[in-house]
Amino acid sequence: MNEKTAKNISKFLSLVLRHSPETINLKLDENGWADVEELIEKCSKKGNSLNAELLDYVVENNDKKRFAFNEDKTKIRASQGHSITVELNLNEAEPSEFLYHGTVGKFLENIKKEGLQKMSRQHVHLSKDKETAIKVGGRRGIPQILTVKSGEMFKDGFKFYLSENNVWLTDEVPPKYIQFT
């Protein structure tokens, strides 16, 4: 499989499984699952060639394991990153002392005032390692890495979730728990 094709399919799946299923008139259930046959059929109608084999390849080899099948592979969903409301039944977990968030300079002033907010997504996204945060911030420009005092937040009662693909998620990070240097 050509890596460019796989990337294009991944981007398209992110669009329809996280943000706009209506683009191809796809229905997601309340837990974010789409029927695999319906997805393949509706993608093809829109001129995107997708079949079970391609879908398997993308789910297996995706760099961030963004998508997951259910047990019998009749359904597929994104493991995190949604802007539409879905109930993922995420696992609550205790984070390490620090987690990291990659952003860019133009957001810092606001983040200092209001903390990290979920913006258009369902959660604030954090990572266990700085390298991942550098990549996330780097999508928008020169990355600025914020250190989140997740251990302290957890002690103070904030909930943390770990997605199937190991992204740390929380509802917000107030400014007092962020180290900006």
Is 117 one of the binding residues for ligand HQG (CB under 6 A)?
A: yes
Q: Which backbone phi and psi does 108 adopt, to 5 degrees?
A: -65, -40
Residues 53, 67: Cα–Cα separation, whole Å: 15
Residues 126, 67: Cα–Cα separation, whole Å: 18
**Closest separation between CB of residue 110 and ligand HQG, Å?**
3
The type of residue at 6 is A
Between 16 and 116, name the residue whose CB sits nearer to ligand HQG. 116
Q: Which part of the chain contacts ligand HQG (CB under 6 A), choosing from 29-37, 42-50, 118-126, 150-158? A: 118-126
Tokens 């979920």 locate to 118
Between 33 and 103, name the residue whose CB sits nearer to ligand HQG. 103
Between 29 and 138, name the residue whose CB sits nearer to ligand HQG. 138
Alpha helices for the chain (secondary structure H): 3-14, 36-45, 52-61, 108-114, 130-138, 150-155
Can you read off the two tokens belonging to residue 28? 């997601």
**Closest separation between CB of residue 75 and ligand HQG, Å?**
19
Is 125 one of the binding residues for ligand HQG (CB under 6 A)?
A: yes
Q: Which part of the chain contacts ligand HQG (CB under 6 A), choosing from 39-47, 67-75, 91-99, 119-127? A: 119-127
Is 2 one of the binding residues for ligand HQG (CB under 6 A)?
A: no
Bridge partners (DSSP) listed for residue 102: 145
Is 66 one of the binding residues for ligand HQG (CB under 6 A)?
A: yes
8, 110, 166, 179: which one binds ligand HQG (CB under 6 A): 110
17, 28, 99, 103: which one binds ligand HQG (CB under 6 A): 103
∠ Cα 17 82 136 (to 5°): 110
Q: Is 47 exposed, middle or buried (0-12, 13-18, 19+ CB in 10 A)?
A: exposed
The residues of the shown chain that bind ligand HQG, judged by CB under 6 A, are 14, 64, 66, 81, 103, 107, 110-111, 114, 116-117, 119-121, 125, 136, 140, 167
